[in-house]
Amino acid sequence: MKQLTRGFLICVFFNSLGLFSQEVAILKYKGGGDWYSNPTALPNLIRFCNTNIDTGINEKIDNIEVGSSTIFQYPFLYMTGHGNVVFSDEEAKNLRTYLLSGGFLHIDDNYGMEPYLRKELAKVFPDKDLIELGNDHPIFKQEYTFPEGLPKIHEHDGKRPQAFGIFHENRLLLLFSFESDLGDGWEDIEVHNDSQEVRAKALQMGANIISYVFKN
């Protein structure tokens, strides 16, 4: 009964939060991977969204640990990095509760985290698999249209960009962008010297993700 009551209260909290708060946070994780990479990416995306798609996202971005109860204050979590990812059993349980209660996590592979991530996501959702999103998924048709799906921002292994998701009761609660490197395209222009066209694609796709979470 206590678990049921806690879950109900969390759901009510998220429903209320969606009406009044548009906040995002960066997810910190253990394992040695650089969760702090691309420091200018998320601030730039937020400013782009607030300017171009009429969001009111708080520009103060907190760094939140996976196992913290504080994650329930943020409807949107962003996670990135290049290397190893490790979730303890308690952290996996906390993240699972957060996602099933209405939260959303975007994991953006900055190159190299995919094999570690898949192993840890199996702890979070042992009963669910990452499913590739079709190009007709609504996340590609929000404020901006991407008829070919996830855009390619940076080249690494010559693989096509892929968007994977985890669903619960037809709700997309986790997005994993792979071989795209959206975050690099969100960074300050002098960091990677990407063209304006490439940066625009990255920011517009990021805006679609934000819109999908906060406006639907």
- Side-chain-side CA neighbours of 137 within 13 Å: the count stands at 22
In whole angstroms, how large is the CA radius of gyration of the chain?
A: 16
Fold of 2-215: Rossmann fold (3.40.50)
60 — alpha (psi -120 to 50), left (phi > 0) or beta?
beta
User: pLDDT by residue (tens digit) across 4-47?
Assistant: 434 444 444 444 444 346 899 999 999 988 999 989 999 999 99
What is the chain's percent helix, strand, coil content, to nearest 5? 40, 20, 40
Q: 192: Cβ–Cβ under 8 A, 6 or more apart, which residues?
A: 154, 184, 185
Cα separation values, 38 from 5, 82, 162, 212, Å: 39, 11, 20, 22
pLDDT at 21: 64
* Extents of the domains making up the chain: 2-215
pLDDT tens-digit series, residues 45-68: 999 999 999 999 999 999 999 999
The Cα–Cα gap between 22 and 167 comes to 22
pLDDT in tens, 135-170: 999 999 999 999 999 999 877 677 899 999 999 999
Question: pLDDT tens-digit profile of 76-91?
Answer: 999 999 889 999 999 9
What sign for the dihedral angle of Cα 130, 132, 138, 142?
Answer: positive
